[in-house]
Amino acid sequence: MTTTVGTVEEVLPNSLFRVRLSPATSPSPEAPEDGVAEEKGEPLILAYLAGKMRLHRIRVLVGDQVEMVLDPYGGRARIVRRLT
């Protein structure tokens, strides 16, 4: 279970978010490019809320720092913690 930190850039419907990974973090090199777009050197990745965050109705807003678990197959991540 690999956790990474990123910043929420866009809020999408159905608890989906576009998250910009922190500069020190990068996705695995063997991960496919589906769902990952690069701008300014840091990749954007599609992320969804973990079940416990939905259950406890934790709000995630644009600009929040979040901790995520990357999908081993690439392209998506699960937001497990809101840092700020």
* Dist CA 56 CA 6 (whole Å): 21
What pLDDT does 43 receive? 87
What pLDDT does 65 receive? 96
* Dist CA 50 CA 47 (whole Å): 9
Residues of the chain with pLDDT under 70: 25-41
* Dist CA 54 CA 58 (whole Å): 6
Q: How many domains does one find in the chain?
A: 1
For residue 18, the enclosing domain spans 3-82
What pLDDT does 32 receive? 46
CATH number of the domain within which 45 lies:
2.40.50.140
This prediction has a pTM of 0.76
CB atoms within 10 A of CB 10: 12
Query: At which residue do the structure tokens 């809020």 appear?
Result: 11
What pLDDT does 8 receive? 96
